[in-house]
Structure 1
């Protein structure tokens, strides 16, 4: 199994960014209200470029979209 490291954690928006040695990035987002669950998606090359350009503000927006509209990220959920 590849080693990952947590690069960024935002407790207010409830997400965490993980990187792997192959330079892939995964965003884990806490979703839900009373019952919570997490969704992990792999960032696309375009999203990685936007993150590098805009910084954490881009991840704030992406995490918000995933948390509010789970369906938008459903097909992107990382497989274990």
Structure 2
């Protein structure tokens, strides 16, 4: 392989590493947000009609502030 390809490949890999680090930091921040969020803005998630594999039958809710997903029971506990 030529030198130009190696430089481009290295740059590509460097960017991939930066993205991975940012995703890890984003997950940490989201976890901290969940801990302090009041979960006031919760929406009911619709079951995807195109999803043929039913992994979970239980209704899910999503907090639009901290992006956490809840089952109905988890939401009751979180609101208390």
Q: TM-score range by the shorter chain?
A: under 0.3
Structure with greater proportional helix content: 2
Higher gyration radius (CA): 2
The TM-score, its normalising length taken from structure 2, stands at 0.26
Structure with greater proportional strand content: 1
